[in-house]
Each structure stands twice: as structure tokens, then as C-alpha cells.
Chain A
């Protein structure tokens, strides 16, 4: 039975003449003495005959001159650039490529979106989030100032010294506060 299975797989190649002489002879010898394989050969040959009948019978000779004139007309016509682009894109965007391109594009977009976590400050550092955000300040009764300088993206918390002489040990009075 194993022989019959193998021969069933090779029957088409045998009838198409695609086997070596040794392989062909081996199959021919088996088919000659096996009723089932002989029947399989008969069916395949009948199918081939039917295919030739169906496909060859449809073919009608086409006249060369009108055909050639039509081809010349196409050659003479100037195709627009977008017709060429459309033809090019039809070949480019095949279904199998789309099956990989779409998931790859999604993965790429997600990777770019999360790029900041891999390369912090890759956008140049001084982006809009470079300012420090001050959520609370308690100067315990002293004066305090909060400054944001946009050019250098600097956040400054400035603590003014108590004016009522707390710092009596200072050798000289401190300079006035920053001139911002």
C-alpha cells in the first residue's frame, strides 16, 4: 500500500515526463500489475484529455495585423506619471507585504512614542517639560520668591533673609537679593 501511496504522489510527474528513466520504469512496472494504480492513471489521463479539450478548444487564432496595430497604439500613447505610479504601487502593495507592513508600522509607532524612556532628553533637553514644577513652598514665615526664566528654562526658589536682624553674627550685611 505504501508503494501505491508513493506512486499516487508521483503519477502526475510520471505522465508529464518529469521523472528520470529509472523512476519512470519503476512506476510503469508497478502500474502494469496494480489495478488500483492503473485506475488512477486512467482517471488522470482522462482528466488531462478533458482539460486539453476545454482549454485548447477555446483558442481561436487572432489576426496579427489588428493585434500589432493595437500594441503600437499603446506604445504611441503617452502615459501620465500617475498611471505609472499606480502600476508601480500595485506591484508594491501586495497582500502578503501588507500583512507584515501593518504590524511593523504599529510596532514602530509605539517604539517612537516610548523613545523618551530609552533616550531621555532626546528631543533636545530644553523642551517644554524642562521647567521644575514647584508644588509647595513653606518658608516658615520668611519671604520667598519663585522665579521662572524661560530662555534658560531655570526655576529659582529664592529665600530672603529675615530683615529683623536674625543674622546678627554676619560680618557684613549680605548683598541685596538677586536683581530678577
Chain B
């Protein structure tokens, strides 16, 4: 029978490495996707995702179960990704080039609604617009879009109120709409 996250955490706290491995197996993909959405670079996202689980391992004994394990791990991931964004010294041109390369080299694409040149231009402009958001605004957009998390869960992850999540989402979407008005 599959153990719950809480039971696996309890086993980790007694030193069972196999329990931690199971938790990593369950969440490594989701954590990576969120971090990739924030950092926009695959190598950096992989590095930060590994660091996220390393930090979680070191702090696992302090996890009291006040929140769910996934909001706890996302909190670590988002904080590390925001720190990494602030340390990034690449210029915007490098971002555009790396994102173009990233998108065009996709072998497996979940869905590709953009079949024509107009849509490709929209995608490129959208990528730039997302990069122009502050780390905090980018985080709410990524968590809502990729994970479909509720405002309550997003607030727990980012350590803010639901009202703050709501206003950040509203602001971020308005800003993106303004920048992409020609395409929408």
C-alpha cells in the first residue's frame, strides 16, 4: 500500500533514506517544472532543483507537519529560485537566445497551439514579458499556470496572504496583457 507524504516524512525523520528517495521520486518533476518556469534556463533549473531536495533533506527533522509536504518543498524551491534570479548576471539578449533554443529543440511538446509565425512571435514576446516581471510576480504566474494551485496554497508557499496572491496575479496578468495587446 502506498504511504502518504506524512508517513514518508516520519520515516525520513527516523533516518530511512529510502523514504526520502520516494519523496524525491514523487516531486522532482513538479519542482523542476516550477523552477524552470522561474529561471527560464534548464541547467540552472536542474541545479536549483537538486539543491532544493538537498536543503529539504537537511531540514526534514524540523518539518512539523503544519503544512503539507508539497507546499513545504515548493516553498524551498521558489525561495531558492528567487535567490538565483537575483544572482543571475545574464543580459536580456542571452535570455531570448536561450529560450528560443529551448523552445525549438523540444522533441516532446505537450501541446503546440502555435502553428504559425504570428503565434511564434506571440510566444517570443510573452517569454520576454514574463522575464520582465519581478521574481514575486513571476512566481504567482508560474505556480498558478503550471501547477494550478489555489490562491491559498500559493500564499502558503510564498509566505503571503491570499489577498496578496490575488493582487499579484491581477497585476502580473494586466502587465502581460498590456505588453501583448497587439497579439491578444
**Residue ranges of A at the interface with B (Cβ–Cβ < 8 Å):** 9, 12-13, 16, 18, 43-44, 46-62, 64, 67-68, 70-71, 74-75, 90
Contacts and interface: CB of A to CB of B under 8 A. Distances in A.
Dominant SS at the A interface?
Answer: helix
A48 B180 CA distance: 12
Dominant SS at the B interface?
Answer: helix
A53 B169 CA distance: 18
B184 interface: yes
Nearest to A84: B58
A56 to B, nearest CB: 5
B37 interface: yes
Interface string B98-114: 01001100111111111
Which of A16, A43, A50 has the most C-beta atoms of chain B within 10 angstroms of its own C-beta? A50
Contact of A13 (B103, B166, B180, B183): B166
Contacts of A53: 111-114, 123
Size category of the B interface is 35 or more
Interface string B26-50: 0011001100110010100010011
Nearest to A67: B28
B7 to A, nearest CB: 20
A55 B130 CA distance: 10
B88 to A, nearest CB: 15
Contacts of B49: 62, 67
